Amino acid sequence: MEQYVIKGGTPLKGDVEIGGAKNAALAILAAAVMTDDSVIIRNVPDVRDVNVLLGAIEDIGAHVERIERNVVMINGSTISGLSVDYEYIKKIRASYYLLGALLGKYRRAEVALPGGCDIGTRPIDLHIKGFKALGADVDISYGLISAQAEKLEGAHIYLDKVSVGATINILMAASLSEGKTIIDNAAREPHVVDVANFLNSMGADIRGAGTESIRINGVKKLHGTEYSVIPDQIEAGTFMFAAAATHGDVTVRNVIPKHLEATTAKLLEAGCQVVEFDDAVRVIGTAPLHSTSVTTLPYPGFPTDMQPQMTAVLGLASGVSTVTESIWENRFKYVDELARMGANIRVESNVAIVTGVDHYTGARVQAPDLRAGAALVIAGLAADGITVVDDIYYIQRGYEAFSEKLQRLGATMEKVDSEREIQKFILKVS
Ligand code: EPZ
C-alpha cells in the first residue's frame, strides 16, 4: 500500500498545471458509447476512477484506446453486453452513467445497484424517477437496476433535490428519446454543462445547461466527435488551498476562473490575496489566516468536494470558523485525523466548529476518502515535522500526479510503499 510522506513547513511556490475534470470526464466517457462512430476525448485525467470506468466500458464490448496519456478514443459500435458488472460499480459509482447512455442508445441496460459510500448514503431515486418519466420500466432486484423501454418519450421532470448524477443520467437518455424533455431544478455544475456541450457536439439538441431548467429535443442518432474536457475546478481549488495553508505563492494554470469563484471568495475572506488571469489564478497566502464561515451548496455555491481542504486551512486561521456540510451526511470523517495533527475541531451534526491553532504537528494519518485525503496532505504540507498519509489509494482516484505536482511547487514529499522507504525519507530530510 502506497503512502505519502511529507516534511511540512515549506511555503509552496511556483506554477501548477491543472488537468481535465475527473467528474466531467467520467460522464463524457460513458456518453461516448452512445454513437457507433469513434469519439476522441482529450484532457482526460489519468486517475484511478477514470481507468476503472474505461475498464467497465471495455467490458461491455466497446473499443477503448488510450492514444496518449490524456487522450482516449472510444468506439461503441462493438458493444455486445448491456449489463455493467458489480465489480465496477463497487469501485466507482459513476459507472451508473452507463445506465443512461445504454438506455438511450439500446432502450435497455442493467447496472449493479451502487451501495452507500465513504461520504454517506447515496440514493439514486432521482435517476430512476427520470428514467421512468421518459417511459422506461425500471426494476430493482437481486442487487441490479434494470431499465428498459419500448420507446423513450420526452417528459417534464422536476428533480426534488439538485443532483449532478441524476441530471447527467437523464440528459443522456433524453438526448436519444422522442420529443422534448425539460429537467427542472437541474444541477448547474460546470461538468453538467461540459457533458451537455459534449453531447451537442455529437449531434444532440440540449439547451439551457448551466441554468436550473434544461431543455432537450430528442434526436434519432448521435455521431462521432472530438472533444476536450474542461479543467478540474476541484483539483485547482485543492492547490489554491495548499498555497494558503503553507503561506505560499502559487499560480494554478489552465483553469476557468469563473468556476472557482466560491473558492476564491473564501480565500479572500480568509485573508489571502487572489489574482485572476484569463486562464489562471494566483494565490498568495499571507499570515495570519482569518476565520470565516462556509456552507457547501450545489454550484454556484461552495462545492462539497472542497469542504475538507477548506477545513484544513481554517484549522490554522485565527478565531473560530464554522463549516456546514449540506450535501453529504458523513463528510467529516477526516476531522479525527486532523485532530491527531493538533487541529481543534468539534463536529455537531453537519457543522464543524473550527477553532484555529497556531500550527499543526506531523503525524501518521489515514485518508478516509478522496477529498479528505487531499485535505490531510494540505495539513501535512503546513505542519511542523513529518506526516505520513496512509491509504493514498483514495487520493489517486481523483488527482493525477499529485505528489509530483506538489514537489514541483517545492513540497518536500515522496510517494513510498514501505516502512523502510518512510525511514529513508526521514533520514534524508532530517
Ligand atoms: C457528484 O456526485 C460528484 N461525483 C461528487 O464528487 C460530488 O460530491 C457531488 O456530485 C455533489 O457535487 C461525480 O460527479 C462522479 P449528487 P453525485 O447526485 O452525482 C442526493 C468527488 O469527490 N441525491 O449531486 O452522486 C444525494 O444524496 C465526488 O469527486 C438523492 O437524494 O451527487 C446528495 O445529498 C464525491 N437522490 C445530493 O442529492 C438521487 O437520486 C447531491 O448528490 C441522487 C442524489
Question: 390: which strand partners?
Answer: 366
For the segment 227-258, what is each residue's pLDDT rounded down to a tens digit?
999 999 999 999 999 999 999 999 999 999 99
Q: Could you tell me which of 353, 312, 332, 265 has the C-alpha nearest to residue 8?
A: 312
Ligand 1 center from residue 232 Cα (angstroms): 16
DSSP 2: -
Percentages (nearest 5) of helix, strand, coil residues in the chain: 35, 30, 35
Q: Are 204 and 233 in contact (CB under 8 A)?
A: no
305 ligand 1 Cβ < 6 A: yes
Q: How far apart are CA 210 and CA 192, in angstroms?
A: 7
Residue 355 pLDDT class (50, 70, 90 cuts): very high
281 ligand 1 Cβ < 6 A: no
143 ligand 1 Cβ < 6 A: no
**Helices 164-175/125-133 angle, 10° precision:** 20
Please tell me the predicted confidence (pLDDT) of residue 142: 84
Averaged over 138-146, what is the pLDDT?
A: 89
Residue with cell 455529437: 202
Task: Provide the residue type at 234 as one letter.
Answer: I
Residue 115 pLDDT class (50, 70, 90 cuts): low
Q: How far apart are CA 111 and CA 86, in angstroms?
A: 7
For residue 116, is pLDDT > 60? Answer: no
Where do the H-state alpha helices sit in 60-189?
Answer: 86-91, 97-106, 125-133, 164-175
Q: Of 71, 73, 117, 339, which residue is the catalytic one?
A: 117
CA angle 345, 346, 350 (to 5 degrees): 115
* Residue nearest ligand 1's atom 42 by CA: 163
CA angle 106, 175, 35 (to 5 degrees): 50
For a substitution probing ligand 1, which of 145, 327, 396 has the most ligand atoms within 8 Å of its CB? 327
Task: Provide the residue type at 348 as one letter.
Answer: E
CA angle 388, 394, 395 (to 5 degrees): 70
| pTM > 0.95: yes or no | yes
Ligand 1 center from residue 93 Cα (angstroms): 10
In angstroms, how far is CA 41 from the centroid of its own chain? 18
Position in ligand 1 atom list of the atom nearest CA 122: 27
Please tell me the predicted confidence (pLDDT) of residue 118: 73
Q: How far apart are CA 334 and CA 351, in angstroms?
A: 14
Residue with cell 431515486: 125
For the segment 184-216, what is each residue's pLDDT rounded down to a tens digit?
999 999 999 999 999 999 999 999 999 999 999
Ligand 1 center from residue 22 Cα (angstroms): 14
Task: Give the cell for residue 186.
Answer: 437541474
Q: Are 344 and 315 in contact (CB under 8 A)?
A: yes
Q: Could you tell me which of 44, 53, 51, 49 has the C-alpha nearest to residue 71?
A: 44
Averaged over 66-75, what is the pLDDT?
A: 98
Q: Cα dihedral sign for 300, 397, 225, 109?
A: negative
Q: How far apart are CA 23 and CA 313, in angstroms?
A: 24
370 ligand 1 Cβ < 6 A: yes
160 ligand 1 Cβ < 6 A: no
Q: How far apart are CA 85 and CA 112, in angstroms?
A: 6
In angstroms, how far is CA 95 from the centroid of its own chain? 14
Residue 60 pLDDT class (50, 70, 90 cuts): very high
Query: Catalytic: 272?
Result: no
Beta strands (DSSP E) in 43-169 are 63-68, 71-75, 83-84, 108-112, 137-141, 144-148, 156-158
Task: Provide the residue type at 308 as one letter.
Answer: P
Please tell me the predicted confidence (pLDDT) of residue 179: 97
Mean pLDDT over the full length of the chain: 96
Position in ligand 1 atom list of the atom nearest CA 191: 14
Count the residues in the chain: 430
For residue 287, is pLDDT > 80? Answer: no
Task: Give the cell for residue 194.
Answer: 461540459
DSSP letter for each residue of 244-259: HHTT-EEEEES--GGG
